[in-house]
Structure 1
Amino acid sequence: MVVEGTPKLLSTSVAEDKPNPNTANPNSRPRGDEEDEGPEEGEIVDEDESKRSSAVLLQPHPLEHPWTFWFDNFSAKSKQATWGSSMRSVYTFRTVEEFWSLYNNIHHPSKLAVGADFYCFKHKIEPKWEDPVCANGGKWTMNFQRGKSDTCWLYTLLAMIGEQFDHGDEICGVVVNVRGRQEKIALWTKNAANEAAQMSIGKQWKEFLDYNDTMGFIFHEDAKKLERAAKNRYSV
């Protein structure tokens, strides 16, 4: 799946003209033939410029931060297992090209099994409340009908890794939770108490995705203490 405007690698290979094996005289050539065997006498060829052009076309597009995909399917484990014990990192990508190579070869939310959690977090930040970077943070959450979050998941990833948020430094990562009747996409941030930054992120996220429903922001601290009884501190 390729979104219009996404940088793509261009091929620099050029097909070579091959001689016709049925030609009676391989040394003869019809008048006006445009095949060029090499520069004519006095012609200047800039080989360095040619090499530079090829290098530019093949040069990858680095992201500002490396990002890591994580996967967890807690429902497939024993109920006595500790949350996060089955979570594992999948792959870390650092360029636009690596992202698309991964995205085009992994399941989208609608194809994941019920109970699956799929994360994309800044490299070296674990998607857990206990991670020092996440400990004082919180999350914005969007809700979707089962199988309806694929496009918003992609656009969220693009906005996040493309540094489209004014307070991008506040963002830890994003997770999609696949459940029986719905899918949830949650954007995790660092400093929950920074209301101005959180409100900016929430409003921009809704604008990027053209999401019309009200969504709320829950502090991780509240979620740890109150679990499902935790209430939204902010809403947009």
Structure 2
Amino acid sequence: MNISEEENKNPNPNTKDEEDGELEEWEIAGEGDDTASSSLKKGVVEQPQPLEHSWTFWFDDPRAKSKKATWGSSRLPIYTFSTTEQFWSLYNNIDHPSKLAVGADFHCFKYKIEPKWEDPVCANGGKWTVIFKKGKSDMAWLYTLLALIGEEFEYSDEICGAVVSVRGKQERIALWTKNAANETAQMSIGKQWKELLDYNNTIGFIFHDDSKKKLNRGAKNRYTV
């Protein structure tokens, strides 16, 4: 990940110390200078655009994984963002899926929802999955993120988050939802997502309960679109 350790200590990327002298994106450049007098007279100040929900990026570093480590111990929160400006500031400064190491998992989940089956919000849910050839999921990942934070799904309250998983020959994007048994909601989400990505292949929905029983291998799709 192209984020310095110093930046990682600050959960709000747009928060700066007053003394560092740097302007926020919504501040007027050159405020107090004569050269900015015309802008000041107009009184035009761009305000941050808040999102309906705050979201957290999580990263599961393959270098930190080992057979002896506790499952999920290598998955750590990176940043939480709550405005459109914060999202783009982060997105433009992190590696996209095609640049991630094999074995990496990069998550974007609603704030306070952890990307794991055991999370109370996720426990009774499931996931839709789309598959791409290695290095071909970057745009689909961006479109998915924009749909999430923009609340574009009809059943957006059902959404927990999404994860892109980079493997040897392919990249998978999974969309996690809350109530797997709500077939109407899940089918709506699957159809909207497939349409949004202009994805031609059939996609399937797996219940987390089935994944746990099968140890995430061989679980069958309950719904398909």
Instruction: Identify the TM-score tier after normalising by the shorter chain.
Output: 0.7 to 0.9
SS class of match (2:217): helix
Distance 1:127 1:168 in 2: 17
- Say how many residue pairs are matched: 196
Asked if the contact 2:158–2:178 (Cα under 8 Å) also holds between the matched residues in 1, the reply is yes
SS class of match (1:228): coil
TM superposition score normalised by structure 1: 0.78
5+ long unaligned stretches in structure 2? 1-24
List aligned pairs for 1:178-193, cutoff 5 A.
Answer: 178-193=166-181
TM superposition score normalised by structure 2: 0.82
Shift >6 Å, 4+ stretches: none
Is residue 155 of structure 2 the alignment partner of residue 155 of structure 1?
no
Which one-letter code corresponds to 1:203 in the other structure?
K
Distance 1:189 1:13 in 2: 42
Distance 1:13 1:185 in 2: 39
Q: Give the corresponding residue for 2:47.
A: 59
5+ long unaligned stretches in structure 1? 1-8, 18-36, 39-46
Q: Give the corresponding residue for 1:92.
A: 80
List aligned pairs for 1:1-236, cutoff 5 A.
Answer: 12-13=28-29, 16=34, 50-51=42-43, 53-54=44-45, 58-74=46-62, 76-226=64-214, 227-236=216-225
Percent identical residues: 70
CA apart distance, 1:87: 0.8
CA apart distance, 1:148: 0.3
Which one-letter code corresponds to 1:229 in the other structure?
G
Which one-letter code corresponds to 1:231 in the other structure?
K
CA apart distance, 1:137: 0.1
Asked if the contact 1:60–1:97 (Cα under 8 Å) also holds between the matched residues in 2, the reply is yes
Which one-letter code corresponds to 2:133 in the other structure?
Q
Q: Give the corresponding residue for 1:20.
A: none
Larger Rg: 1
CA apart distance, 1:12: 4.2
Q: Give the corresponding residue for 2:18.
A: none
Cα root mean square deviation, aligned? 2.1
Closer, same or farther: CA 10–78 of 1 in aligned 2, 3 Å? closer
